[in-house]
């Protein structure tokens, strides 16, 4: 990110300044919430949008994304920095390696009394191993799954798909007083 900003200084000083401001926002958010265990989903998704804008400076048109949230879910409390590592892994393993880049979709909605957060990318997905009943994942994906278990034990599933990868997190809505 800093290299991307440095390269912009001579090419496009205004874009460099805007990216530094976004990076400052990201750092401020991290510091402000470092002592809190939870933040609202709206705050977490604002962080994700800022992070994606910073990554867009580096990847340009190769990164396309959409972040959506049901209005009712905006005030649901989630573990701070829950979604960012998942988005980061989508960029690192799904989008950045692809010549044409790809898309990341972050969606938060209510389903069956649960807050469902889905991070999906259009990358190559997880590679099947010799066991046709299973799949292998890169260590970073295992780390992300472990982080979910540590940060919010009730959160659920890592789902392999043919094109790209999808991480789905579920938490009971009434856990946070909205049910």
What span, in angstroms and rounded, lies between the C-alpha atoms of 21 and 43? 17
Splitting the chain (179 residues) into consecutive groups of 10 residues, what average pLDDT does each group show? 72 82 78 77 93 88 95 89 88 89 92 85 63 38 47 44 56 54
HEC string of the chain equals: CHHHHHHHHHHCHHHHHHHHHHHHHHHHHHHHHCCCCEEEHHHHHHHHHHHHHHHHHHHHHHEEEEEEECHHHCCCEEECCCCHHHHHHHHHHHHCCCCCCEEEEEEEEEECCEEEEEEEECCCCCCCCCCCCCCCCCHHHHHHHHHHHHHCCCCCCEEECCCCEEEEEEEEHHHHCCC
- Residue 27: the pLDDT is 76
Q: What is the pTM of this model?
A: 0.70
The residue among 89, 99, 34, 44 whose CA lies nearest residue 67 is 44
- Residue 105: the pLDDT is 93
């Amino acid at each position: 990110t800093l290299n991307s900003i440095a390269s912009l200084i001579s090419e496009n000083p205004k874009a460099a300044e805007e990216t530094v401001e976004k990076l400052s926002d990201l750092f401020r958010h991290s510091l402000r919430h470092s002592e809190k265990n939870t933040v609202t989903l709206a705050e977490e998704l604002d962080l994700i949008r800022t992070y994606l804008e910073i990554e867009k400076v580096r990847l340009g048109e190769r990164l396309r994304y959409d972040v959506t949230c049901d209005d009712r879910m905006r005030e649901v409390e989630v573990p701070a920095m829950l979604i960012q590592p998942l988005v980061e892994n989508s960029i690192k393993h799904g989008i950045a390696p692809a010549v044409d880049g790809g898309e990341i979709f972050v969606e938060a909605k209510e389903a069956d009394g649960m807050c469902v957060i889905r991070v999906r990318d259009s990358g190559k997905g997880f590679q099947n191993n010799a066991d046709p009943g299973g799949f292998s994942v890169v260590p970073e994906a295992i780390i992300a799954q472990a982080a979910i278990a540590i940060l919010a034990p009730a959160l659920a599933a890592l789902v392999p798909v043919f094109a790209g990868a999808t991480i789905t997190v579920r938490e009971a809505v009434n856990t946070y007083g909205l049910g």
